[in-house]
Amino acid sequence: VVAPSSVKLERYSQIRTSSINNSLDIGCQNINGASFPLLQGRQCATSPVLSKVAVFQKPVFIHQGHMQWLWDMDGRRYLDLFAGVATVAVGHCHPKVTAAVEKQLKKLWHTTNIYVNAPLHEYCEKLASHLPDPLKVIYLTNSGSEANDLAMLMARIHTGNYDIITFRGSYHGGSQQTMGLTSQSSYKYPIATSSGCTHTMCPDVFRGPWGGSHCRDSPVQTIRQCSCAQGQCMANEQYIGQLKETFAASVPSRVAGFFGEPIQGMGGAVQYPKNYFKEAYKLVREKGGVCIADEVQTGFGRTGTHFWGFQGYGILPDIVTMAKGIGNGFPMAAVVTTPEIAASFAKAYHFNTFGGNSVACAVGSAVLDVRIKEDGLQQNCHHVGTYLMTELAKLRDKHKIIGDVRGKGLQIGVEMVKDKTSREPLCPQAMMEIFEDVKDMGVLIGKGGLYGQTFRIQPPMCITTADVDFFLAVFDKAIHNYMDRQIGAKRH
């Protein structure tokens, strides 16, 4: 079977192999020469865990990036639809962000935040202006794990309670504290992590026990049938019932808080019934807890319709954590909370050496300016993301192994299955074959989900509909290739 997209692939192949833009300093090196010592050095000198998380069977040696593009050491160009795990928000080496960094580097690198310095305070004021009242007190940190770790501490200090609830399948970080929040066995070690963390059923309307065709705040709904009356969501009622059971059976009568990503990231872009958070927040607050929105992957306009993912649900958290896209790849993160919670946290000293670093603040400020005032990237997420999901839904209807397409803006998941009736996850080997094929045709995407069954698409927010058309052609072709191999194997 020849995919109908073969013409697009051929046309793009000509572009991809043509001479590379002279403005980019591509130091092309033979993959069998200079690249081999790199791989050898990675295996010998870096953490052995990196060998486990290496995503490709044939490694990609990334040398340079520009906006939505990456180049390897041989000068091959890749359309980057994963953005360093949803981190490169405004584009690789965005010229305006790069210029802001260069300017600050010539003036002041670092002082620590015990001194009053302009970049820190100007940035905090700018960031606070994009959050609703009373979320106005900002703590700058270095990573999402550190931000979530700090949010856990704040919740416990403020409430005087200890237990924290989050979803099964969630990922909130790799520190010893946040490992307790995280609910995926691949990210857990057989040691005592943070106690007091309880995982309730994830209200996943595709893979969970309940769900229908009107549940999600998404341009594309699940293929499961829905018999709910107008204005009623039976799936939401059932999942809220599970949360109530968690309160009744698994935690004390008073809790410290509830963590939730507006859309699960590592969990595979999982979305929930539209009113779930409203009801969950009410229940948590009745138990004395605070509500924490983990916006590490969904924040800063990625979902398209709103600047923060939580705004799409009509809710107001007590604490918001953010990282990744906040610095476009620069290591920075933040916790934002209310004056009341901040006052509780002032019972002891809390200090972060690099939080509020002058260069980090210059980066964050430039990213906000580019994203909001200049490039209109939130609107681009909505426009391009909706187009991409709508077209992916057509591929879902065409291919039996695509079970679900979901997301909002440019936070998208494509869940692969053996068949749509059982919804049994596609096996890891099959996922790897498709994944590798997509890469070999010039596109980088991610994987996630509890069983590694979901392709994740979280690109730089500057991608275009032309980029989307190319990816759709590649993805369609990769699935055709996989199905052809399956048919050939059965014949033999």
Domain boundaries along the sequence of the chain: 6-81+377-491, 97-374
Residue 371's pLDDT is what?
79
Please tell me the predicted confidence (pLDDT) of residue 35.
55
pLDDT at site 375:
83
Strands (E), 89-204: 137-141, 164-167, 197-200
Q: Enter the pTM of the model.
A: 0.90
Residue 250: how many other CB atoms lie within 10 Å: 12
Q: What is the CATH number of domain 97-374?
A: 3.40.640.10
DSSP letter, residue 202 = P
Rg over alpha carbons for the chain, rounded to the nearest Å, is: 23
Q: Which CATH number describes the domain made up of 6-81+377-491?
A: 3.90.1150.10
pLDDT at 265 (0 to 100) = 94
Give just the sign of the alpha carbon dihedral 67, 431, 303, 316. negative
Q: What is the pLDDT of residue 30?
A: 46
Q: What's the pLDDT at 9?
A: 55
- The separation between CA 88 and the C-alpha centre of its own chain, rounded to angstroms, equals 11
Kindly give, in sequence order, each residue whose CB lies less than 8 Å from that of residue 465, ignoring residues fewer than 6 positions away: 383, 384, 387
Token reading at 196: 């007091």
pLDDT (tens place) for every residue of the chain, 492 residues total: 223 344 455 544 444 444 334 344 444 444 444 555 555 555 555 666 655 554 677 888 898 999 999 999 889 999 999 999 999 999 999 999 999 999 999 999 998 778 888 899 999 999 999 999 999 999 999 999 999 999 999 999 999 999 999 999 999 998 988 999 999 888 888 888 778 999 999 999 999 999 999 999 999 999 998 888 888 899 999 999 999 999 999 999 999 999 999 999 999 999 999 999 999 999 999 999 999 999 999 999 999 999 999 999 999 999 999 999 999 999 999 999 999 999 999 888 888 888 889 999 999 999 999 977 788 999 999 999 999 999 999 999 999 999 999 999 999 999 999 999 999 999 999 999 999 999 999 999 999 999 999 999 999 999 999 999 999 999 999 999 999 999 888 776
